Structures are given as structure tokens and as C-alpha cells.
Amino acid sequence: MFNKKSILVTGATGSFGKRFITRLLDEYNPSRVVIFSRDELKQFEMQQTLQSPKLRYFLGDVRDKERLHRAFQGVEIVVHAAAMKQVPASEYNPMEAIKTNIIGAENVINVSIDQKIEKVIALSTDKASNPANLYGATKLCADKLFTAANVLSGFSKTKFSVVRYGNVINSRGSIVPFLKKQKKSGQVTLTDERMTRFWITLDQGVDFVITCLTKMRGGEIFIPKIPSMSVVDVIQAIAPKCDVKIIGIRPGEKIHETMITSDDAISTIEFDDYYVIIPSTESKHLEKYKEKQFKSVDSDFSYSSDNNTDWLTIDEFKQLVSENDQIQ
């Protein structure tokens, strides 16, 4: 699907963008890959390690619609990974999160339609489902914009879909590198002993996005089946000899993360390795999916990190952390 295609990635200097682009260059033959991001230093650093005549480095911000128009010229596939994603920063700077995560999403949608992009897939987060913080709320709003954009696209025939998954092991700003840093002091902090989270590796996330780009019909939210783990066990895997200080739930933090709420069950179908929340306008018209082996979930179904049937052991998590230790 990517061979001889022009592909653009927003937020391309982040962990996902760099790994996704590396995979494109190693495994496919795209005609052009556009790296779109607003941080000139990160682009400079990326140029030192990732060099190819097919790469185009494009400074810009998804808040800037005119700049997006220029960058999207001749592009056929867009992966939208740009976001303001730090929960505390979003709580303290709410308008900045709204400008990037919501207005930026609207800009990507409108420019994609204007430039007749073939496929657009947006990266979401488990925090967008039943959100408890502003970051999650902005991502939920963005998810709604992207799934509804298929109606807006009209004659352009641009297809929009969303990929939603959990915490990426070793990603910047996540709990694993935070615990590694705290470990040096002999004490680590924990907000609540009941806390659980979904976990996925960066390569698994990239694989899933590639799979969804091949399967998308427009309007879906794709959710992979991934394991859960209690944060207490995460601490045992990373810093087993450290004292643990309980500090209480932070603003906007949840005990458990949810990727599919019971309210979405009516529109959710299940495959072997993933779920799909299909557009509500098609929930009674599943003919599009009949060539695939799927089943509808129960009416009270929800997919949460505490009711998951797949759990990581401490040893399994240690192995994943060790194997994925080079994320930048």
C-alpha cells in the first residue's frame, strides 16, 4: 500500500513518528515521506540519524492551516500523530491543548479534504474514552471530528479513521523512564495501589497503525487487544528494592483506563486481535464487514484495564522493557 506513495506524518519527530518512518523506509518503497513537525532541533537531530533522498523535512504547526495546505500538496496518505499529550501541562494550559489537539485536528481534516488526500489515520489514546482530564477530553473531541469527517469529505472521497491504544512502554514522559529516574534515590512514588494500565510496545503500535491503514473503510476507531498490568507490579519490575511512597491521585488521573465504554458497545465489533467501534450511522448496517470473521460484543461490554483478560507478569514486563530500551 505504501509503495510509490507520498506519505506525510504530523508530529513526526516523536517516538511513534520516527519508528513509523524508519519502518516505511526499511520495508516499503514510498516515493516521498514528509516529516511535519514544529521543533527545528528535533528535526535537526532526526536528520543526523535518518537520512534518505525520499525524506522531506517540513517545519510547521498543525495550528497553522495555511502551512498545512503547503505541506499536504501531492500527499496521498497522512498519519496524524501531532498532539499536546502531557496531562499536567494540558491541565495548566488548557487553551494550548485545545488549539493543538482540537483546532489542529480540524485543520488536518479540512486541508486533507481540500488536497484530496486518500487516507488519513489519527492516533488517539485510552484517555479519550470516558475522559477524566482535559487531555483526554481534547482527544475524544478529535476522535469525533475524525470519524465524522467521512461525511464531510463528500466528493473528495478522503477516508478518515482513528487508532486508539494504551501506554507505550519506555516512551518519553511515561511511568517507566520516570521510575528509572526515581530508582536512583532509593524511593519511588505511587499515586494509588489499585491503579492498572494497558501496555503496548512501540513496534506493536506501529504494526497496528499499518494494519489499520490497510483495513480502514472510513469512520472506524480501531482498538488493539493488549495486556494490562497493575502499577504496583510495574514498580516491582522496575524498582523492586525501592521504598514506595503513596502520594494520592493527581488531578485528572484515573484508577483504571478504558478504551471502550459500555455506551460504545452497541457500535463495537470484535475480531481475533482487535476491536472496531464502527460509525454509529452504520451500526445497523454491517454489510461492509461481512467478508471478515467478526462478532458483535455484548450490550453491556466494556474494555478496561481492570476487566481485561490478558495480564502481563512482572518477568514479562521486565523483558519488554529490556527489549524496548532505545525509545527516544
d(CA 307, CA 13): 34
Label each residue of 151-188 as H, E or C.
HHCHHHCCEEEEECCCEECCCCCCHHHHHHHHHCCCEE
239 grid coordinates = 524498582
Max Cα-Cα span within the chain = 61
Catalytic residue check, 127: yes
Choice among 85, 119, 127, 254 that is catalytic: 127
Give the Å distances, CA to CA, from 117 to 6, 7, 160, 189: 10, 10, 10, 46
d(CA 283, CA 285): 6
CA neighbor of 123 nearest in space, from 216, 209, 12: 209
Give the Å distances, CA to CA, from 121 to 150, 194, 272: 12, 34, 21
Contact predicate 324/201, CB 8 Å: yes
Give the Cβ contact number of residue 174 at 10 Å: 16
Label each residue of 42-88 as H, E or C.
HHHHHHHHCCCCCEEEEECCCCCHHHHHHHCCCCCEEEECCCCCCHH
Residue carrying C-alpha cell 466494556: 302
d(CA 256, CA 191): 12
The residues annotated with a catalytic role in the active site are 127
